[in-house]
Chains A and B, each alone.
Chain A
Amino acid sequence: MDKIIYMDNAATTKVSNEVLEEMFPFFQEYYCNPSAFYHFASEGKKAIDKAREQAAALIGAGSDEIYFTSGGTESDNWALKAVAKAYEKKGHHVITSKIEHHAILHTCHYLEENGYEVTYLDVDEYGMIRMEELEKAIRPDTILISVMAANNEIGTIEPIARIGKLAHEKGVLFHTDAVQAYGHIPMDVEAMNIDLLSASGHKFHGPKGVGILYVRKSVKLLPVIHGGAQEKNRRAGTYNVPGIVGFGRAAELAGQRIKKRMTKETELRDYLIKRVIDEIPYARLNGHRTDRLPGNAHFCFRFIEGESMLILLDQLGVCASSGSACASGALDPSHVLLAIGLPHELAHGSLRLTVSEDNSFEEINFVVNELKKIIERLRSMSPLYEDFLHQNQ
């Protein structure tokens, strides 16, 4: 394999040079534990303060409303479990959607096992929740609404501002899993009435193992990770200084470049979608045509199965996925594709290609040209395609 064509940026992204440079000194030069007493620790402390401001600025938050975590999964767990506990006197009802990441869904299952009731909202054919259904689901004992900002598989952007507005009118807290959206599309916690927000560093050219939970100052926040006094006694554990510094710098860069990046990614994405839909028969674009993440293209191809497609792409050096990396290894088709109403057979033939601004039109041309051959080959050995051809003779 000579060259890798990386089109799985929703799984993780490459750390940018600027981010890496910013992180380096905190491994060997300023390796201090920032919680220590001596003067040497102050560089670490200062760096964390700066990163906190950078992380907050990207979403219009106050820096004292940002808590550093180990990543999106921890942030999601924290938000749901802590709010459920802190507001248990008000009620035991939580509302979420059927297409959330497993970090949310499995945490909701945990809450259900512990006496909470969870409503899982359906989505429409594009993967968008229906506002009227959400409104109907809100009850006097509803304590939290958690709906993702953008879906990790099909890229659909949810109506976050409208959800936030409704939640605030009804006096319900609103959390959003913004792991795919933070740094990729503009977000503002004030304008969108967001009370809690999860984000992860490695999804926008920052490092792995670091994330944030934004928590509005007025929200009661209990710790979930117990131990030392870090993060105002809310999140124990020695600061991951290089990671936090990297997160901050990546957030700053994302803020500076967001328009340019979105334009470039959208151009690449639209070209990819156009070529696939125009040139490959029985292909379907999943998710919303325009209200989707700039880098996300997600297709289903009838009569073929996704893994075979991925293996053949992999042999050409093309990194792609069928859905989410977290779900691969499972045999069931994606819960997201079933939620948008796809039959099992179609849901099995899915392909997610997620581009970044580092991708090129040449790479897309290569991938589409090869994909055409791969799909033709797999269809030629598919009994479903054989039946389809016989029926149409």
Chain B
Amino acid sequence: MYSEKVMEHFNHPRNVGEIEHPSGVGTVGNAKCGDIMRMYLDIDDDGRIQDVKFKTFGCGAAVATSSMATELVKGRTVQEALLVTNKAVMEALDGLPPLKVHCSLLAEEAIHAALWDYAQKNNVVIEGLEKPVSDIAEKE
């Protein structure tokens, strides 16, 4: 049911883990729908994403979209990272089954949530970034 790219990222996910003192961290999704993604960003003073890590609870597509999203934002500026949409993630994975499209939306949300956290903490304004809707509190 999954493309080879999805399977490849599922079997060898990139950037799994945590960043100890992240510039920004965002967690999206909930246990009810069965997918939770957490994205950590390490952003330098020039606003460039130096490192990114993720942890995901979810299906094969959830793991693959998180992995691909980290690849797509790594080395980018925060402004460029905003351009990594769910469509971009899906295309990079050669598509997703219809039932799994929401996973790519979650990956986009996870990036936004981590960027939002970074912006809040550092009092920066990232143009075009809105408060993520499905950001869930750490303890929820």
Chain A residues within CB distance 8 Å of chain B:
303-305, 307-308, 311, 315, 329, 331, 333, 343-345, 348, 380-387
Inter-chain contact A384/B36, CB cutoff 8 Å: yes
- Kindly list chain A residues whose C-beta atoms are within 8 Å of the C-beta of B99: 329, 331
Q: What residues on B are CB-neighbors of A331 within 8 Å? A: 33-34, 99
A286 to B58, CA, bound (A): 21
B32, B62, B138: the one within 8 Å of A344 (CB): B32
B71 at the interface (CB under 8 A from A): no
Tell me, rounded to whole Å, the shortest Cβ–Cβ distance linking B71 to chain A: 15
Given A382-B56, A383-B38, 16 additional A-B pairs, CB 8 A: A305-B57, A305-B58, A307-B59, A308-B59, A311-B7, A329-B99, A331-B99, A333-B34, A344-B34, A348-B31, A381-B54, A381-B56, A383-B36, A383-B37, A385-B57, A387-B138
Query: What residues of chain B lie closer than 8 Å to A383, measured between beta carbons?
Result: 27, 36-38, 55-57
Contact B55 A305 (CB under 8 A): no
Q: Which residues of B contact A (CB under 8 A)?
A: 7, 10-11, 13, 16, 18, 27, 31-38, 54-60, 62-63, 99, 138-139
CA distance A311 to B13 in the complex (A): 14
Query: Do B38 and A305 touch (CB < 8 A)?
Result: no
Q: For B55, list chain A residues within 8 Å (CB).
A: 381-383, 386
Q: Is the CB of A307 within 8 A of B60?
A: yes
In whole angstroms, what is the CA distance A333 to B32 when docked?
8
Chain A nearest CB from B137 CB (Å) reads 11
B16 close to A384 (CB less than 8 A):
no
Q: At the interface, is chain A mostly helix, strand, loop or mixed?
A: helix
A-B contact pairs, 19 of them (CB 8 A): A305-B34, A305-B57, A308-B63, A311-B7, A343-B31, A344-B32, A345-B32, A348-B34, A380-B16, A381-B55, A382-B56, A383-B36, A383-B37, A383-B38, A384-B31, A385-B57, A386-B18, A386-B38, A387-B139
> Which listed residue, B16, B27, B36, B60, touches A308 by the CB 8 Å rule?
B60
Find out whether the CB atom of A305 lies under 8 angstroms from the CB atom of B35.
yes
Whether the Cβ atoms of A311 and B60 lie closer than 8 Å is yes
Residues of A close to B62: CB separation below 8 A? 305
B7: chain A residues within 8 A (beta carbon)? 311
A382 vs B7: C-alpha distance when bound (angstroms): 18
Interface SS majority for chain B: mixed
Q: Are B58 and A308 neighbours in the complex by a CB distance under 8 Å?
A: yes
Q: In angstroms, how far is the closest chain A Cβ from the Cβ of B117?
A: 14
Please name all residues of chain B whose beta carbon is closer than 8 Å to the beta carbon of A343 when the two chains form the complex. Answer: 31
Distance in angstroms between the alpha carbons of A308 and B7 in the assembled complex:
11
Measured between C-beta atoms, what is the minimum distance from A40 to chain B in Å?
47
B33 surroundings in chain A (CB, below 8 A) = 331
Cβ distance B108 to chain A, nearest Cβ, rounded Å: 17
Whether B16 lies near A381 (C-beta < 8 A) is: yes
Q: Given the complex, which residues of B lie within 8 Å of A381, measured CB to CB?
A: 13, 16, 54-56, 63
Report B-chain residues with C-beta under 8 Å of the C-beta of A307.
58-60
Give the 7 A-B CB pairs with smallest separation, nearest first: A345-B31, A307-B59, A383-B38, A383-B55, A348-B34, A344-B32, A382-B57
CA distance A380 to B62 in the complex (A): 15
Q: How far is the CA of A329 from the CA of B62 in the complex (A)?
A: 15
Q: Which residues on B sit within 8 Å (CB–CB) of A304?
A: 57
- What residues of B have a CB within 8 angstroms of the CB of A315 in the complex? 11
Q: In whole Å, how far is B7's beta carbon from the nearest beta carbon of chain A? A: 8
Residues of B within 8 A of A305 (CB): 34-35, 57-59, 62
- Give the CA-CA distance A384 to B34 in the complex, in Å: 11
**Across-interface contacts of A384 in B (CB, < 8 A):** 31, 36, 57
Q: How far is the CA of A344 from the CA of B32 in the complex (A)?
A: 5
User: Which of B18, B32, B35, B62 lies at the interface centre, i.e. has the most chain A CB atoms within 10 A of its CB?
Assistant: B32
Chain B residue at smallest Cβ distance from A348: B34
For B10, B13, B31, B54, the residue with the greatest tally of chain A CB atoms inside 10 Å of its CB is B31
Shortest CB-to-CB span from A376 to chain B, Å, is 13
A136 to B139, CA, bound (A): 41
**Interface core residue of A311, A344, A383 (most chain B CB under 10 Å):** A383
Residue pair B60, A303 in contact (C-beta under 8 Å)? no
In chain B, what residue has the closest Cβ to A346? B31
- Chain A residues positioned under 8 Å from B32 (CB to CB): 344-345
A308 to B34, CA, bound (A): 11
